[in-house]
Structure 1
């Protein structure tokens, strides 16, 4: 008498029901309303920056002296500045500069800080002492003052401001990665990897670095907001973007003498900085809640 066959084929699971660490993190992130608000703000400014050449009603260098310091109207939604340039156009192009500096300054800081942090945490001894003292020296100066000093040495320009912002933020990511590596290298799977003859380079690339990404992602998102503020501060002091580039901090600096006569020249660049920084802070807090195990119940 034959036995009945048993169907062992696993049931079909819909694609949206498949579980995974990043998919679960995205699901949890979407439930955080403030984090989604931050993401929407960031997407809005990114789209404005990308589409500025297509939707800007004027050129950001275009001057109409007869229309200088005009109040917001149908022809100039955000009014005009002291040279008759359209503020709405310059705000859109300014988003390009601020986001570009924020993203690439943080990327540079993450690359250098992660490299130094891994070396210090994994190899220890004299290398850890040397790199840690370097971080301590950089952290001994207020970040904006150190950035001003670096730009003063290199010369005022947007590119040098980017370098300065990246340099002053290296210790933030370096110390974060160092602490993570110190906790990871004592784990049992690292000991097992050493026991089977895995090289240090392979251990770093396949085990240490991937498991250090979570705090880097969270801090990097929050760091973009800090970099945008620092770029605006350098621009306000005349050490960042140079005329006629429409950087938000530089726009604030150029308009501060007209704050009573033409307040819109100050309000709109200030609001743009505030909203962009708020967006990254909200999204960073949401990512921390989702990715940091200590924040989970």
Structure 2
């Protein structure tokens, strides 16, 4: 009998498909499975879209005053009511999202850039470089963050720009120490030693091998830091050290309305809810990113 050829023989089988995926794709898949994190992402996207299209979404100008409409309760004409100057609160909250997110993103971006440079230098070179940079971080961390921000704004002068600078400065040690600790771990890996052995320059090693392995914790901490920056911006605005009237900044709106909390509670309620939801969204998303990108959080 003729020998029957098995078409499924290993000799005739097609090569197995490469199922390996990058850590970033794997992290995204893990993130999508976390429903709470996805809810946080949707909240963040909602406020970002609201900030981007504020000119189209706001029913009124955020600075248009009409004293005859002072402290109108929420209605079909003014969904969130009006404030003590007759300004539409919904319009001011929509435009306030643009300012709060602007401060949050750019203050954290500044903190990440400065903290990244200092953390890389301290962790990679060590010795006296590490000692000097670490002592600077310790000095900044010795002060309560909000008090240090108040002191910086008091020196520079109250304005939204100076509030952004102050928030960026107080967050530098957090990112610097995070990156430094990560670099101390990464630089002991064998591939770093191999790169040094073949004569690769320090700059190339740092940017091609060390930095890419530090991105995951930076992304997670950056997301959480945006939430903190929004709260700090609102706190400075509440104290009169951030955005100045008639700028529609949420903290400053709360400060203007605190005297009318019993007479017109909606003037305090809606800006407070906007701050709460934005911070909640970034915190939920940050927790989800941490669970997805941190190998220690996986089974």
Smaller-chain TM-score range? over 0.9
3-state SS, counterpart of residue 53 of structure 2? helix
Report what 1:200 is aligned to: 202
Q: Cα distance, 1:20 vs. partner?
A: 2.1
- 1:136 aligned onto 2:138: yes
How far apart, in 2, do the equivalents of 1:196 and 1:218 lie?
A: 34
1:81 matches 2:93: no
Q: Distance in 2 between matches of 1:18 and 1:136?
A: 42
Residue 19 (str. 1) matches residue 6 (str. 2): no
In the other structure, the counterpart of 2:117 is 115
Looking at structure 2, the residues matched to 256 and 237 of structure 1 have their Cα atoms a distance apart, in angstroms, of: 12
Query: Shift of the alpha carbon at 1:12?
Result: 7.5
Aligned mates of 2:208, 2:12 — CA distance in 1 = 38
Mapped partners of 1:172, 1:245: distance in 2:
30
Q: In the superposition, relative to structure 1, how do residues 278 and 127 fare at CA in structure 2: closer, same or farther (>3 Å)?
A: same
Question: Which of 35, 39, 42 is the aligned partner of 1:40?
Answer: 42
Tell me by how many angstroms 1:54 deviates. 0.7
C-alpha separation in 1, matches of 2:81 and 2:41: 28
1:53-132 equivalences in 2 (<5 Å):
53-132=55-134
Number of the residue aligned with 2:164: 162
Aligned to 2:3: none
CA RMSD in angstroms comes to 1.6
Structure 1: distance between partners of 2:201 and 2:289:
33
Gaps of 5+ in 2: 1-6
The equivalent residue for 1:234 is: 236
CA displacement, residues 227-285 of structure 1 (integer Å, 9 cap, x when unaligned): 00000000000000111110000000000000000000000000000000000000000
CA deviations 1:35-76 (Å, max 9, x no partner) are 000000000111111111012110001011100100000000
Distance in 2 between the 1:8 and 1:89 partners?
65
Alignment: residue pair count = 291
Q: TM-score, normalised by structure 2?
A: 0.94
Match status 1:260 vs 2:271: no
Structure 1 unmatched ranges of 5 or more: none
In the alignment, the residues of structure 1 paired with residue 16 and residue 116 of structure 2 have an alpha-carbon distance, to the nearest angstrom, of 43
* Shift in Å, 1:9: 6.5
User: C-alpha distance in 1, partners of 2:288/2:200?
Assistant: 36
- Cα distance in 2 for residues equivalent to 1:242 and 1:173: 29
Which deviates further from its counterpart, 18-27 or 233-242? 18-27
The alpha carbon displacement at 1:25 in A equals 1.1
